[in-house]
Copies of this chain bind each other. A is one copy, B any other.
Amino acid sequence: MTFQAPVDDILLALKTASDLEARISAGLYDDLDADTLAAVIEEAGKFGAEVLEPLNRVGDKAGSKLVNGEVVTPQGWREAYDQFVAGGWGALPCPAEYGGQGLPEIVQMAVAEIWNATNMAFGLCPLLTQGAIHALMIAGTEEQKAAYLPRMVTGEWTGTMNLTEPHAGSDLGEIRTKAVPQGDGTYRLFGTKIFITYGDHELADNIIHLVLARLPDAPPGTKGISLFLVPKYLVNEDGSKGARNDVVCAGLEHKLGIHASPTCVMKFGEGDGAVGTIVGAPNRGLNTMFHMMNQARLAVGVQGVAISERATQHAEAYARERTQGAKLGGTPGEMVAIVEHADIRRSLLHMKAMTHAARMICFATAGEIDVSHLASSNDEREAAAARGALLTPVAKAFSTDASLEVSSIGVQIHGGMGFIEETGAAQYYRDARILPIYEGTNGIQAIDLVVRKLPMGGGAVVKSYIDDLSRMVGEVAASNRPEFGRMAEKLGAAIKALVFASQWMGEQLQSNPEAALASATPYLRLFGIAAGGAYLGRGAVAAVRGGDADARAVMLARYFAENISTEAPGLADTITGGAEAVIAATPERLGA
């Protein structure tokens, strides 16, 4: 079945979770309006369905290959990328001063959902380039910006993030790659990086690597890491492509999924050293990298939404087509489409409700990022930046965990066919599995939420957010609609559970931080369920106010409240009462 861009659902998420209409009215987005936004998503949807989706399985089967030291992407990839560049899609969120369209984060995330739904292995390439552009915008010199940004903005050149080394994954303080100053403002880099997405390929004329490395006199640990720009090809003063730099792809990983996305082992300085320039101040590289990673984390959350959306559309099409078994109370022997069976309907509802909830959280986060950049008042910008920071780990981890659940149910709905690769459901399941891992594992997101984000503003940031969620649920209760069933009660119980667990977390951070760490993962899920449910409830209220009591928004909100929010009190119980059992399980006892 051909992919249908979920234009209405994305707009609903923006209106519900990101106050799109109010923000447009207030002039936050200049002349962007909802119709333009819809048109952009629609157009992206066509590009995704026509150009990217047909390459998704092709790319999965063929994979990218290392041929004579150069990465070769699957057949058709280069042409698709050329069309992507020609269509101006890469430039969409980029600063106008470097040739971009300067569209806000919400638009970028909307089109990113499309790229990743139709072809996640392809979607990673622009995602990484955006991250590199972002790093240069915040920390690059004017020379660096002028030399690199114009062609990165169009997508003619792509970007990478070189962080991980074999012994330094989550703990970047252990990085050993060296950068030796040459006295002329350049550096020579020596070291090996692993897991470098699109570290090499032939899609673009040049690849701009952003590389974490240590200066010779750098202090140990995280405070001695600097960021460098190392192009695959040096760039001459006149902007033309110069000599090949001393950086090569030494190997490709054989992965569970996203086969077409080359995951490279990169060797810097096998010869005289890879020539680079420093980005930002010496020893301050992690700051820039974290900045850029934070934005990438939201983008990964959106990848989770994307793959969930695609898996859901795929499974639903199958469930409407495949006949098997008689309907309850129907004529025995008369097979019906399996979508008629209650257990399959539960499965599809679960996929849809989780996808919608994750999308709400991601677009809420994107909206906060926009306000943090675009609002006129400093207070507004700061408040939005804080809320965006609070929500980012939830957007990343909740959405990507959801994508595992959703893509797994997608396989299951297909029965035996789901296990056959040709069907396609299995690829979503495989591709999705990277999402909870990269850009900081979901365990690290949970710890970030608990340890760094909850204490922001002395707890005021999280409190004001939960207050907003409470108000949304209050409106569900006030609407008192019979179609809502027990929606208000269940959404309210989830908020109550979140309040209780958040208080407990605050106390533990003071008195017993290991307990807070031990319960961070279930806490993040509770946070996501409470937030996602509140947004869905708000969407349902808007629908009935608009006169559409039969709206799908009502159906999904009710399902979510009565079947997923019901997890929340148990999660609070686990969080507040389960940590001791974790702490008691020392490594020694665990292995006994």
Contact B566 A577 (CB under 8 A): yes
Cα A316 to Cα B331 in complex, Å, equals: 52
A352 to B574 alpha-carbon distance, docked (Å): 17
Q: Which residue of B lies closest to A220 (CB)?
A: B333
Interface stretch (choices A277-285, A376-384, A409-417): A409-417
A242 within 8 A of B: no
Cβ of A88 under 8 Å from chain B: no
- Among A74-82, A143-151, A209-217, A431-439, the stretch that binds chain B is A431-439
| Contact partners of A339 in chain B: CB under 8 A | 587, 590
- How many angstroms from the CA of A332 to the CA of B485 in the assembled complex? 52
Q: Which single member of B171, B346, B579 contacts A518 (CB below 8 Å)?
A: B346
A562 to B584, CA, bound (A): 12
A328 to chain B, nearest CB (A): 6
B520–A257 CB distance below 8 A: no
Asked if B170 contacts A324 (CB within 8 A), the reply is yes
The 8 A CB mask of A13-24 against B (1 = contact, 0 = none) is 000000000000
Specify which chain B residues have a CB less than 8 angstroms from the CB of A581 in the assembled complex.
349, 485, 555, 558-559, 562-563
How far does the alpha carbon of A565 sit from the alpha carbon of B340 in the complex, in Å?
Answer: 32
Q: Would B349 and A590 count as touching, CB distance under 8 A?
A: yes
Contacts of A568 in B (CB 8 A): 570
Q: Which residues of B contact A591 (CB under 8 A)?
A: 316, 320
Is A592 among interface residues, defined by CB-CB distance under 8 A? yes
Bits for A220-257, please: 1 = Cβ < 8 Å to B, else 0: 11000000000000000000000000000000011111
Is A138 interfacial (CB 8 A cutoff)?
Answer: no
Whether B195 lies near A333 (C-beta < 8 A) is no
Say yes or no: A429 contacts B577, CB within 8 Å: no
Contact B582 A346 (CB under 8 A): yes
State the oligomeric state as a number of copies: 2
CA–CA, A441 and B404, complex, Å:
19
Bound together, the chains give a CA A415 to CA B437 distance in angstroms of 6
User: A256 and B430: CB pair below 8 A?
Assistant: yes
Q: A589 contacts the other chain (Cβ, under 8 Å)?
A: yes
Instruction: Point out which of A340, A342, A421, A518 has the most chain B C-beta atoms below 10 A from its C-beta.
Output: A342
Asked if A270 lies at the interface with its beta carbon under 8 angstroms from chain B, I say: no
Question: Which B residues are in CB contact (< 8 Å) with A437?
Answer: 411-412, 415-416, 418-419
Contact with B along A305-347 (1 / 0, CB 8 A): 0000000000010001001111010001101010111111111
Bound Cα distance from A332 to B222, whole angstroms? 10
> Does A43 have its Cβ within 8 Å of any Cβ on chain B?
no
- A264 to chain B minimum Cβ distance, whole angstroms, is 13
Interface pair A421/B256, CB less than 8 Å apart: yes
Contacts of A99 in B (CB 8 A): none
A550 to B584, CA, bound (A): 10
Closest to A418 in B: B437
A316 contact set on B, CB distance < 8 A: 590-591
A164 is an interface residue with CB less than 8 A from chain B:
yes
Q: Is the CB of A349 within 8 A of B447?
A: no
Chain B residue numbers with a CB within 8 Å of A585 are 345, 348-349, 555, 559
The residues in A between 561 and 575 inclusive whose CB is less than 8 angstroms from any CB of B are 562-563, 566-571, 573-574
Chain B: CB-nearest residue to A174: B335
Contact yes or no, A577 B558, CB < 8 A: no
Cross-chain pairs A/B with CB under 8 angstroms, 25 sampled: A170-B324, A171-B325, A171-B326, A171-B335, A256-B421, A256-B426, A316-B590, A328-B514, A328-B517, A343-B447, A343-B520, A345-B582, A412-B441, A415-B437, A416-B437, A418-B433, A419-B437, A430-B430, A486-B577, A552-B589, A555-B584, A555-B589, A555-B590, A562-B578, A562-B581
Binding site for B on A (CB under 8 A): 164, 167, 169-171, 173-174, 194-195, 220-221, 253-257, 316, 320, 323-326, 328, 332-333, 335, 337, 339-349, 352, 404, 408, 411-412, 415-416, 418-422, 426, 429-430, 433-434, 436-438, 441-443, 446-447, 485-486, 490, 513-514, 517-518, 520-522, 550-552, 555, 558-559, 562-563, 566-571, 573-574, 577-585, 587, 589-592
